[in-house]
Amino acid sequence: MTGKGCVYTDQIDEALRTRKKNGQVKGFMIMPFRPGLRVFFENCLRPFFESNYDPIRVEKGLQPVQQPGIILERADDVPRPGIIVCEGICKRIQEADFTVADISVPNDNVFYELGLAYGIGSKIILIHQAGAEFGEQAARYFRKSTEAEHVVKQYQNLDMIEREHFNVSEYIWRREPSGDSSDQPPKVLFFEMMRDGSRDQGPGKTRGTDDDIRLSFREHVMSDIGLALNRIVDDLRQQQSDGRAVIPHDYLDGIIGKHLDRAIKIDPGDDFMVTRDRVDSSYCLIVRTGTDCHSMSYFWLGYGHARGKNVIPITTLLPEDEDAARPHPTGGQAADVRPTPVERSGQPRGKVEDLAFDIRAQRHMIFDIQHPELLERQLERTLSEMIRADFSEWSRRRFWTTLLGSRGEVSIITGGLHSKDHNREMIGDWDLRAASELTSFFSRHQYRPKIETPIYQPEFARGFDPELSTGNYIKQVINEIRVGEKNCVVIASPDVNPLTEIMLGRLFGMADEALFSELNNVPNAAFVVYKKRKTPHDPAQDETAGRGGATAPRAFYSEGVGDEAVEKRGFLSRAFEQGDEALLDYYGQNEYEPNRKAFQIYAQLIVARNPFTPKNDPPRYVVILNGVSGPATFALTQVLTGGGNEDAESMRGNAFDAAAGSESILNKFLPYLRKPDFHCIYSLVEVDVGEESQHADAAPDATAESFGRHGGAGATFDWRSVLRWQLAHGMLDGEGVKVVPARAGASGS
């Protein structure tokens, strides 16, 4: 219901692992709590599953056992579930191996839960009593979703269910993966299905005896949506003109103003799959609910929530005195004989019949037929909050959802550098900040980050085993972290993080033994990190050298000595449109000078299919932050997150909006990510680095001391800050982005 990851995922995973270990199977039963249905469940359905599908009892020849192998539970089996929808229903659907739903009679709660189960992707078995009119009607609606001969199992009253008449595997129904809708224009949808399965025909023409014009509920809603959205767009445009932009200009004109200006009605007679695909590609789903509505309305309500959509249920306010009724102005049955009281706050009072679940706290709205103008106010407030929250990070959400999926698991991997002074492995300060920024972002969005054990350098490993081959070293790294099973963010360049070298080699089709070498045989499309030092580099004096004092070379890292008085860093690559190298002046944390001008540095951001994931497994992804310095690497985290730290806030004083910059870059990546042949995107980012005092809003007399800087080596903190960044235009495709097709890289192992 929030569009974010489930907070119970870890508990669900543990329950699944425990049950699998014990050889058990669990089903969740969705049914109305009614006497006849309860008797059928206890006398017929539960015994059928226990007798025929209990792995322990079947193996022992139906002999009694202390611990059942199959569990078929209902929502009321566990008392006090807490938050009913989340803990009592949704969590238990996810924990179950399959879901059984009895659709014999109309029940809104049942269909809401069924929509959740279908949206989650649960294995579903639909049943209804033979001859039940509503069950047969619902079965016909669902049957359009599959080519299977048997979609719904019909049972005969309380007759014993025979296995030869109910082969469960033939009745399993689940949501197939939807087509890619990420590039389709998002729409606002309106779904209305009345009790008879059709849409509301409205109150008819205004008659001569009427004292007001007749309008349908649908006409009210469609008009209010259009009016509310127009007001929201006008307000956002005014904010942009005032320099208070909350949403990037491209989104305001290209999406909000162009595609969300009206709602699209879904005909209840449409094919099930057509409706499902529309909901999948929608931005917001508005569902009419209430006593006059078909239970299928609640199916789509639950499905929309399970799919993380913005869903708004709207219920008609019923009179305080139901016995007093006249023809309903909107065509329904119940009505008032006197105006319904309305409080000064604008919230209507009266009787509302709808789901008893806590679902009513989720953007639930009420349409008061005596005061219909209040609905537009509710819609405007809700849609405004929704649009501001979503479109301020529209591309970031879609980017990370594409990579991490609904489960949101991601591993953050750094490299461990050996410090001779401390005789221990350490993580660089900027790498630590990068991991912190990513973890903070993932946690805010309810993804599930894990910081993996840092990977030690091969030269350090060979200090223990001089005979360790490159191939065996790579196998140890990959197997220890189980890289192929995970989505990964790999922090730092190949000289700092060995996994960057390993990933780049696999992405560009190089043999393992060609890595950690100076063979200079990297493909033309690849980048090689290059450092042109001021003086020759002595590996024996390097703090990051291995125990033997030798530094292993890297295929994707090189260094040399220049004639300039300033060190240069950057990349070498034949992929550049202008020359084979991109080098810029570089200043380290020990090279502080008062009022030093900001300098620029390059960083490479790579997004790719995880090359270590087996071909037949669901795809995993890897993001590589290949910076040539700490600040450059950290800047790449802001590209991915939009910034949420103090540095990003201080950038605004330099007229740079990290969130808008992030949206612009990731929006360029999105069209490629879901293509079947997607392999790798890499980009070159240009980063401005300097003191915070160099921001435009800094006081004219600002000094290093005023910002807590005390100059050069021995300072408490690094004097360098990330001031701004952008794609290095003209370096690759004119936008600083290049796509490597699958045929140019190595296939999964």
**Predicted local confidence at residue 691, as pLDDT:** 84
**Predicted local confidence at residue 601, as pLDDT:** 95
Q: Which has the closest alpha carbon to 626: 572, 662, 696? A: 572
**Predicted local confidence at residue 497, as pLDDT:** 94
pLDDT confidence tier of residue 174, bands split at 50, 70 and 90: confident
Q: Does residue 393 have a pLDDT over 80?
A: yes
Tell me which H or E stretch contains 722.
Answer: strand 721-727
List the beta bridge partners of residue 189.
264, 285
Give the pLDDT mean for 288-314: 91
**Predicted local confidence at residue 125, as pLDDT:** 94
Give the pLDDT mean for 16-41: 91
pLDDT confidence tier of residue 684, bands split at 50, 70 and 90: very high
**Predicted local confidence at residue 257, as pLDDT:** 82
CA distances in angstroms from 185 to 189, 244, 257, 585, listed in the order given: 12, 26, 11, 44
pLDDT tens for residues 504-527? Answer: 999 999 999 889 987 667 888 899
pLDDT confidence tier of residue 674, bands split at 50, 70 and 90: confident
Q: Does residue 703 have a pLDDT over 50?
A: no
- Half-sphere exposure of residue 87, counting CA atoms within 13 Å on the CB side? 8
CA distances in angstroms from 639 to 346, 358, 626, listed in the order given: 43, 37, 13
Q: In the structure encoding, which two tokens stand for residue 101, read together?
A: 């739903």
Give the pLDDT mean for 370-392: 90
Dihedral angle computed from the Cα positions of residues 347, 351, 353 and 359, in that order, rounded to the nearest 10 degrees: 30
pLDDT confidence tier of residue 337, bands split at 50, 70 and 90: very low
Q: Does residue 650 have a pLDDT over 60?
A: no
pLDDT confidence tier of residue 62, bands split at 50, 70 and 90: low
Please give the Cα distance from 183 to 559 (Å, whole number).
42
Q: Which residue has the higher pLDDT, 648 or 425?
A: 425
Q: What percentage of the chain exceeds 70 in pLDDT?
A: 81
Residue 173 one-letter amino acid: W
Please give the Cα distance from 219 to 44 (Å, whole number).
47
Q: Is 3 left (phi over 0), alpha (psi -120 to 50) or beta?
A: left
**Predicted local confidence at residue 656, as pLDDT:** 85
- Give backbone dihedrals phi and psi of 279, rounded to 5 degrees, phi first: -65, -40
Q: Does residue 329 have a pLDDT over 50?
A: no
**Predicted local confidence at residue 412, as pLDDT:** 97
Q: Does residue 149 have a pLDDT over 90?
A: no
Biggest CA-to-CA distance, the chain: 100
Please give the Cα distance from 411 to 491 (Å, whole number).
11
Q: Sign of torsion, CA 50 55 60 64?
A: negative
Q: Does residue 543 have a pLDDT over 60?
A: no
Q: Does residue 710 have a pLDDT over 50?
A: no
Q: Does residue 59 have a pLDDT over 70?
A: no
DSSP conformation class of 86 = I
Mean pLDDT of the chain: 82
- Per-residue DSSP letters for 38-69? HHHIIIIIHHHHHHHS-HHHHHTTS---SS-S
Q: Which residue matches tokens 């065996």?
A: 472
- Half-sphere exposure of residue 604, counting CA atoms within 13 Å on the CB side? 34
pLDDT confidence tier of residue 296, bands split at 50, 70 and 90: very high
Give the pLDDT mean for 689-695: 71
Please give the Cα distance from 107 to 595 (Å, whole number).
72
pLDDT confidence tier of residue 642, bands split at 50, 70 and 90: very high
Q: Which has the closest alpha carbon to 142: 120, 126, 123? A: 126
352 in Cβ contact with 386 (< 8 Å)? no
The CATH class of 9-170 is alpha beta
Domain locations along the chain: 9-170, 188-391, 394-456+485-744
Tell me which H or E stretch contains 684.
Answer: strand 680-690
**Predicted local confidence at residue 430, as pLDDT:** 94
Q: In the structure encoding, which two tokens stand for residue 728, read together?
A: 């290095």
- Give backbone dihedrals phi and psi of 50, rounded to 5 degrees, phi first: -65, -35
Q: How many CB atoms lie within 10 A of CB 343?
A: 8
Q: Which residue has the higher pLDDT, 265 or 77?
A: 265
Give the pLDDT mean for 283-292: 90
pLDDT confidence tier of residue 61, bands split at 50, 70 and 90: low
**Predicted local confidence at residue 652, as pLDDT:** 59
In this structure, of 275-284, 338-347, 559-568, the range with the lowest mean pLDDT score is 338-347
pLDDT confidence tier of residue 620, bands split at 50, 70 and 90: very high
Q: In the structure encoding, which two tokens stand for residue 243, read together?
A: 């320099």
Q: Does residue 235 have a pLDDT over 50?
A: yes
Q: How many CB atoms lie within 10 A of CB 91?
A: 21
Say if pTM beats, i.e. exceeds, 0.85. no
Give the pLDDT mean for 198-220: 89
- Per-residue DSSP letters for 254-282? IIIHHHSSSEEEEPTTS-HHHHHHHHHT-
In this structure, of 20-34, 395-409, 707-721, the range with the lowest mean pLDDT score is 707-721
pLDDT confidence tier of residue 699, bands split at 50, 70 and 90: very low
Give the pLDDT mean for 496-503: 95
Q: Which residue has the higher pLDDT, 504 or 405?
A: 504
CA distances in angstroms from 530 to 224, 510, 604, 605, 688, listed in the order given: 59, 19, 12, 16, 18
Please give the Cα distance from 459 to 549 (Å, whole number).
8
pLDDT confidence tier of residue 351, bands split at 50, 70 and 90: low
**Predicted local confidence at residue 346, as pLDDT:** 40
- Half-sphere exposure of residue 612, counting CA atoms within 13 Å on the CB side? 20
**Predicted local confidence at residue 157, as pLDDT:** 94
Q: Which has the closest alpha carbon to 622: 743, 731, 458, 748? A: 748
707 in Cβ contact with 691 (< 8 Å)? yes
pLDDT tens for residues 127-138? Answer: 999 999 999 999
Q: Does residue 477 have a pLDDT over 70?
A: yes
pLDDT confidence tier of residue 103, bands split at 50, 70 and 90: very high
Q: In the structure encoding, which two tokens stand for residue 69, read together?
A: 């192998």
In this structure, of 40-49, 306-315, 734-743, the range with the lowest mean pLDDT score is 734-743
Q: What percentage of the chain exceeds 90 in pLDDT?
A: 41
Give the pLDDT mean for 672-684: 89
**Predicted local confidence at residue 705, as pLDDT:** 45
